[in-house]
Chain A
Amino acid sequence: MAIDSEVLVVGGGLAGVTSAVAAARAGADVRLVSYKQSSLRQASGLIDVLGYVGDEVVVDPYDAIPELHEDHPYRLVGVETVRDAMALFDETVDGYHGDHTETNALLPTHGGTVKPTARYPAGAAEGVASDDRDTLLVGFERLVDFDAPLAASHVEAAGAPFSADGVTITFPGDLQADAKVTRYAKLLDQNSPVAVDGQKVDTRTALAERVAPHLDGHERVGFPAVLGDDHTDAVRATLAEELGVAVFEVPMGPPSLPGLRLEDRLFEALDRSGARYEVGNPVVDYEGEDRIERVVVERNGSRVPYSADQYVLATGGLVSKGVESDREGVREPIFDCHVPHPEDRYDWFEDGVFDDHAFARFGVDVGSDLRPRAAGGSVEFENLRAAGATIGGYDFAAEKSGSGVSIATGYAAGRAATEDLT
């Protein structure tokens, strides 16, 4: 006997969860299986749709989508589907801002660059760069991933319409040099008493007291994104109240708490949708010819069959190992779907770091139905669709389109899988 569902989604990132939620809301009995935690913790937690076309910053992603090449995933699913998919995200995932407009927001990052993005966590809202309030960025001495004075001068140099200053303080409680970001977050979440000058003071108050002398007329304060995990809204509110100014978080590099929180919000949405899910064991194989009959999940050496009517492949791209490469070639490891790539591996990349690399667009080849296609253009399996970074043909890092493509193709694949149920 196999563990059975109508739609089986393989992969638990933004694309997989979105497709499972979309399918469940359309009425399907859905199961999602994911090998590992997703790569969201390596991501900023910002939800971009389209930030750049070529070298040009995009103001309105929906206006710019028709300028993309016709095989781009956005062109394949169509602008209206992208809109509908973002509406599903707004409706089901808590804690995000930016849906009041179709134009991009500009968010300062921990490097001091300004990123165009469609949605951003509530915690980053007071930090938007289009706002002209003067800004103080606060870094913590032992949290070396965020250099506040450097980030402040970068933001100013990027042409932000406000003045920015940076200051580095010691986080109260004298944490060890290699304290994890989760340690900072936990102290603030629990508001545990920490020792300051021989006295026990609540962490949030102690932090506000250290920042207060540097306020100097600034109207908002940005901290590295470690302001709590479970109770991040309360942490920000306390700090804002004690400082008397607006408080925001600057998205950080990996491991990223905004990414972790987004993952939690997504799985809450998944749970509410009624879909079933499990994380921890890989799909390693499948059975079937033109149709996938079952997939095989490996659990500590035992092979457990999972069957479904329709399947969605959302295992990610090169980073998440949904697409793999070695000296011989590039492949999709579960179903062995065709991944177009130059035969000579020296043609996979260019010499300059920021050049237009071929590998950035590696992924399975799909048509507008999102079914992976073999080298000759025929459909690989009639009941398999791909979503997210597993799909090739676009460079999400250069375009700043990773989240949007995952949401749009995930939505489209989940809906189409449900419509196709026999």
Chain B
Amino acid sequence: MSDSADTPTEESFEPTEPNTGEEFEPVQVFPDEGTMDLRPGADSCTKCSTCDTNCPVAEVDDEFPGPKFQGPEQWRLKQTDDGDEFAIDDSIMDCSNCMRCDDACPSGVPLSQMHNEARGEYVDEQMSKLSTEYWRNRILANYRTSAWLASKVPRIANVAMNFGPARWVMEKTLGVTSEREFPAFATETFSEWWAAQGGAAGSRERARDARERRGEPLDADKKVAYFHGCYSEYNTPEVARALVRVYEHFGYEIVVPEQGCSGTPMFANGMLDDARRHAEVNVSSMADLVEEGYDAIASCTSCSLALRQEYPELFDIDGIEDVAENTFESIEYLRIHEDVRGALQDAEIEDELAEEFAYHAPCHARNQGLERQAVELFRDLDGVAVEDVGDSCSGISGTYGWKDEKYEKSMAIGEEMFDHMEDVESTTGMTECPTCSMQMEHGTGYDIRHPIELVAAALVE
């Protein structure tokens, strides 16, 4: 071998030898560990437009280019040689993150993952951190912080938050619509109640009593970690309390680990750093419990979807896959492990919940294949009727419908659901999602309950 072969130059290119010449610029064709590779997803898109026909925003706003553009088409544009010159289109902020497109796609394109990534990039790089929109969105997305503060003085907060002039100022300065009423804060948070019940130790005792009554082995492996989310903690602790009663009735020991926000409102506002901070807390406490044999359950369908789908799609945190695989919606989990159907068939509702319910399946429940479980379960329960109000989106999509400029769009999307709710004779609604319930109440004045409350009323009380 001559010397020249050891020091390759452009002239002496050797295809079978390493080429170390300075002319050579390596191109990264595989993603770094920790970055997302969206190519397989984009390549799977056949442009059939099924996602577009499932988009509730595109249905009421033809300025919105739809999920097919926001996802695979925009992603492809960004990959071209001069992809850096393409800014993310402003319309990404009009996507409500309902994620119906995910469920719709026959080719498994991870549309919401693409939307989340694009929205994150847009907020990071294109939205002014000094703008009202940025701060308004950040405040809305960090609902947990406001709720935590308000829960310290719930009675004052309930008056102050819906004080007319204050709301006018919020609309004018921040762009938070004054059309809606803020949800009331409970005078006792779920955590305060839970501590008063003796926490995990109290639960273990009650669960053992239940197993004894049910004739199950006392050491049965029935342990769940409850992710209550912000809304059950601060606004509707009655939902969380119902869940505790139902699970303990079936002999489950409950623990309530340290937790933050699921991140759902942060994803929807492109605040991925905020979401990651919360996800790290949640994954870290849930992963340890999953390791010990606990399953994670959530009563809010957006929380369970975040832990199951958005976390592993967007973040790389130790234990995240294990947590995702072992997270369930609360009624779904019981359906898998217990004969809830049989128990409800033998039960009857006689109290104030003996009603006809107008049931709306949240988009995020739909995404987990859960849109029919309430209708199916309560079909055989005496004393109640559950009427499905159809497959439309409620339109609020968390913080989306709270934004002044989105309010009308949100109500236009909700119109179909409101119409179908009006067809139901009673004035009681049912849904798993806290913000869908706000929208249902706002559009019809109905009182809205969570299915787990009905299960508790049927089986425990």
A interface vs B, CB < 8 Å? 1, 3, 36-37, 39, 41-42, 175-176, 178-183, 185-186, 190, 230, 254-255, 260, 271, 276-281, 299-302, 304, 320-321
Contact = CB atoms under 8 A, between A and B. Distances in A.
B324 A301 contact: yes
26 contacts: A1-B336, A3-B336, A176-B62, A176-B63, A178-B65, A178-B66, A178-B69, A180-B49, A180-B55, A180-B59, A182-B53, A182-B58, A190-B415, A254-B48, A255-B49, A255-B53, A278-B370, A279-B371, A280-B366, A280-B370, A280-B371, A281-B369, A299-B368, A300-B309, A301-B325, A302-B328
Contact of B103 (A3, A36, A230, A299): A36
B339 A1 contact: yes
B250 to A, nearest CB: 12
Contacts of B337: 1
Contacts of B415: 190
Contact of B104 (A37, A271, A276): A37
B369 A183 contact: no
Contact of A278 (B49, B367, B373): B373
Interface in B317-376: 321, 324-328, 332, 335-339, 366-373, 376
Contacts of B321: 301
Given A37-B50, A37-B106, A281-B368, 5 more contacts: A1-B337, A41-B53, A178-B69, A280-B369, A300-B309
Given A1-B337, A37-B106, A279-B369, A186 B325 contact: no
Contacts of B52: 180, 182, 255
Contacts of A39: 106
Given A3-B335, A276-B376, A301-B325, A179 B369 contact: no
A408 B372 CA distance: 27
B159 interface: no
A179 B64 CA distance: 8
Given A1-B336, A278-B372, A302 B106 contact: no
Given A1-B336, A320-B106, A255 B50 contact: yes
Given A36-B104, A176-B62, A180-B62, A42 B48 contact: yes
Given A3-B335, A36-B105, A183-B62, A299 B55 contact: no
B416 interface: yes
Interface string B7-26: 00000000000000000000
A175 B336 CA distance: 47
B228 interface: no
A175 B104 CA distance: 24
Contact of B49 (A36, A185, A254, A281): A254
B369 A277 contact: no
Top-8 shortest CB links A-B: A280-B369, A179-B62, A301-B325, A300-B308, A176-B62, A281-B369, A255-B53, A182-B59
A194 B312 CA distance: 44
B60 interface: yes
Interface residues of B, number: 47
Contact of B53 (A181, A299, A300): A181
Contacts of B59: 180, 182-183, 185-186
A183 B58 contact: yes
A36 B108 CA distance: 9
A331 B264 CA distance: 39
A37, A278, A300, A302 interface centre (most CB from chain B within 10 Å): A300
Contacts, number: 106
Nearest to B322: A301
B328 A276 contact: no
A164 to B, nearest CB: 28
A277 B372 contact: yes
A327 to B, nearest CB: 17
B375 to A, nearest CB: 8
A192 to B, nearest CB: 8
A250 B415 CA distance: 28
A37 B366 CA distance: 11
A226 to B, nearest CB: 11
Nearest to B53: A255
Given A36-B103, A180-B58, A302 B325 contact: yes
Given A1-B339, A181-B53, A276 B106 contact: no
A324 B154 CA distance: 58
Contacts of A302: 325-326, 328
A263 to B, nearest CB: 10
B63 A300 contact: no
B416 A180 contact: no
B62 A300 contact: no
B144 to A, nearest CB: 24
Contacts of B58: 179-180, 182-183
A300 B48 contact: no
A280 B52 CA distance: 17
B60, B332, B338, B388 interface centre (most CB from chain A within 10 Å): B60
Nearest to A260: B53
B169 to A, nearest CB: 32
A185 to B, nearest CB: 8
A41 B52 CA distance: 12
Contacts of A300: 308-309, 324-325, 327, 368
A384 to B, nearest CB: 22
A42 B107 CA distance: 13
B369 to A, nearest CB: 3
A10 to B, nearest CB: 13
Given A254-B48, A255-B48, A281-B369, A180 B66 contact: yes
B103 A280 contact: yes
A417 to B, nearest CB: 20
Contacts of B103: 36-37, 279-280
A257 B54 CA distance: 12
Contacts of A281: 368-369
A299 B103 CA distance: 12
Contacts of A42: 48, 50
Contact of B367 (A182, A277, A280): A280
Nearest to A176: B62
A29 to B, nearest CB: 10
A321 B339 CA distance: 33
B255 to A, nearest CB: 20
A283 to B, nearest CB: 12
